[in-house]
């Protein structure tokens, strides 16, 4: 066993002495040592209950004859970090999470790992660590929160952000905003729609690193506790069989995950995270591969923020296994590959059939292609990403004048100040991985436009990114970014921009001579940086590569 490095032989007596200081007994020294890596904390709603999940996992580990050792990682709540300096530190926390786990489990070699994430960067950060370490591992997240309710209508966090825009434009009174504030997030767990956290939890189950229902069982359900206990038990079998993350995370598994991604209409951030995870797993997944999957995968679910269907509804309809079962009818799901608990086909055999409402059939999909599209053109030579499943039909093709801003704050001020008109294309730049730095999610401006009723007439493009809670013609990950000399840095107010989502095009309609003149005069905006964010900006690659660090 790997843990023998710290507990076997007479030369390890000092190590055993320290382990006994923890209360480890002589009989436990002969059992598998299992790491329990949790993101538990007291100020992230998705993490506040993870101690309880961890206890159930540890009970399961002991049930199966292992010895659990828990430690915690950092974790940023994107909702709390949104729309201020803190959001610059969200994406870059993903690398810190992966690095810190690598440090802990290399310094203290154990035999298997149970990961307990929830929320946006924690999930991919932990999966990256699992791939890098390649020790038998399994995941069980904290699960999604219940939907909220205002005036008899179910809502999620995105509706609170949109209500801010509605108040600013006079559509609702300020007192009504308090109703949204008090009722949108009624329980612990990851936010209730198909935002980034739930997207990544669902894809963790799809790729085969978590047990069935791990992506959708509610945070407050006893089913979640049973899943945690079963996960703790299951890791001992994975250790016994020596099934490691990279045995599971093959190219075929990534293809399954991407097809589920497209079918579910997941957050556009999944593109950023899956490419980063694939990098760690030594699997070739790029924007061209993702786009090819999107083109021939039907979208069969449309969840909040794109509709009034929530994760809790998907769970009741059969969850991810029912989605995979339906997708398998296209012949494009790899059903014979392994997961942490049998083959893909074995896991979905007894799942409910598609109900036609929450999970559409492949014969009657919501759309014939996937929920995410990759756009290219002179404005995005290396690619850009849009959650096309949440774009209004009238905005799938759009041409309009640019309103250019060099930060999210400038754009938000203009939007709330009534300076954006129907037909405009809002350009937010210097928010990329290097230029931000940190590639902030920008839910506030998109939600404000939606709350003001402009989501069906105004587009946004950015070298930053958008929240999974964003809806509308919001095109992110524009690459190359402005700080790297990308064309987005040369756009001027009034320039016409053409967006053609069906044909995957994003173009600046300025003649080449003028573009070359601007390039000759271009000086990228420089920011004074310090601390970790400065080191991050020096090391991070482009969004097209998943914003991973340079090798």
Q: What angle do CA 216, 303, 170 make, to 5 degrees?
A: 125
Q: Which residues contact 156 (CB under 8 A, 6 or more apart)?
A: 147, 148, 184, 191, 192, 193, 195, 304, 305, 310, 469
Residues 6+ apart with CB under 8 A from 6: 12, 15, 19, 108, 109
Q: Where are the alpha helices (DSSP H) in 208-268?
A: 222-241, 245-248, 251-264
Q: Give DSSP secondary structure letters for 171-211.
A: SS-HHHHHHHHHHS--SSSB-SSSSHHHHHHHHHHHHTSB-
Dihedral angle sign, alpha carbons of residues 11, 12, 16, 18 = positive
The Cα angle at residue 272 between residues 102 and 457, in degrees rounded to 5? 150
Q: Which letter, b or e, does each residue of 287-302 get, where b requires 16 or more Cβ atoms within 10 Å of its Cβ?
A: bebbbebbeebbbbbb
Give catalytic residue positions. 467
| HSE-CB of 334 using CA atoms within 13 angstroms | 17
d(CA 387, CA 429): 19
Pull the structure tokens for residue 139: 């995941």
Task: Answer positive or negative: Cα dihedral of 42, 309, 229, 68.
Answer: negative
**Burial degree of 500 (CB within 10 A; 0-12, 13-18, 19+):** middle
């Amino acid at each position: 066993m790997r843990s023998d490095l710290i507990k076997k032989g007479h030369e390890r007596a000092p190590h055993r002495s320290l382990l006994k200081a923890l209360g480890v007994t002589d009989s436990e020294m002969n059992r598998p040592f299992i790491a329990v890596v949790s993101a538990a904390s007291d100020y992230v709603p998705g993490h506040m209950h993870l101690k309880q999940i961890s206890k159930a996992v540890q009970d399961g580990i002991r049930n199966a004859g292992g010895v659990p050792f828990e430690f915690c990682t950092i974790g940023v709540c994107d909702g709390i970090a949104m729309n201020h300096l803190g959001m610059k530190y969200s994406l870059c926390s993903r690398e810190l999470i992966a690095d810190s786990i690598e440090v802990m489990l290399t310094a203290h070699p154990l035999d298997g790992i149970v990961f307990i994430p929830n929320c946006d960067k924690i999930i991919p950060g932990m999966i990256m660590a699992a791939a890098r370490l390649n020790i038998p591992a399994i995941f069980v997240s904290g699960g999604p929160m219940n939907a909220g309710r205002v005036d008899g209508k179910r809502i999620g966090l995105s509706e609170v952000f949109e209500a801010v825009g509605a108040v600013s434009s006079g559509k609702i009174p300020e007192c009504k905003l308090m109703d949204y504030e008090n009722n949108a997030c009624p329980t612990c767990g990851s936010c209730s729609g198909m935002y980034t956290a739930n997207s990544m939890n669902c894809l963790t189950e799809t790729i085969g690193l978590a047990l069935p229902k791990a992506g959708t069982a509610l945070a407050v359900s006893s089913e979640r506790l049973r899943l945690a206990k079963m996960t703790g038990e299951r890791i001992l079998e994975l250790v016994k069989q020596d099934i490691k993350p990279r045995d599971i995370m093959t190219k075929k598994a990534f293809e399954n995950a991407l097809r589920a991604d497209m079918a579910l209409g997941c957050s556009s951030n999944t593109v950023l995270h899956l490419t980063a995870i694939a990098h760690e797993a030594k699997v070739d997944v790029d924007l061209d591969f993702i786009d090819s999957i999107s083109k021939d995968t039907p979208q069969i679910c449309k969840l909040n923020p794109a509709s009034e269907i929530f994760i809790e509804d998907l769970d009741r309809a059969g969850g991810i296994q029912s989605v995979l079962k339906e997708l398998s009818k296209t012949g494009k799901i790899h059903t014979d590959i392994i997961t942490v608990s049998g083959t893909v086909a074995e896991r979905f055999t007894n799942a409910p059939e598609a109900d036609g409402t929450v999970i559409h059939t492949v014969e009657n999909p919501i759309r014939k292609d996937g929920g995410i599209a990759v756009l290219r053109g002179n404005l995005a030579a290396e690619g850009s990403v849009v959650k096309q499943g949440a774009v209004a039909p009238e905005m799938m093709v759009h041409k309009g004048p640019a309103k250019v801003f060099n930060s999210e704050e400038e754009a938000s001020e203009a939007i709330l100040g009534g300076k954006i008109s129907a037909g405009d294309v809002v350009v937010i730049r210097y928010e990329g991985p290097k230029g931000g730095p940190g590639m902030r999610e920008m839910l506030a401006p998109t939600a404000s436009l939606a709350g003001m009723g402009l989501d069906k007439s105004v587009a946004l493009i950015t070298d930053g990114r958008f929240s999974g809670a964003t809806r509308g013609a919001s095109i992110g990950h524009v690459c190359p970014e402005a700080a790297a000399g990308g064309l987005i840095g040369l756009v001027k107010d009034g320039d016409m921009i053409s967006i053609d989502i069906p044909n995957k095009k994003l173009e600046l309609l300025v003649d080449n001579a003028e573009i070359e003149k601007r390039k000759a005069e271009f000086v990228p905006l420089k920011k004074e940086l310090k601390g970790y964010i400065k080191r991050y900006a020096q090391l991070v690659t482009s969004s097209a590569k998943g914003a991973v660090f340079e090798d």
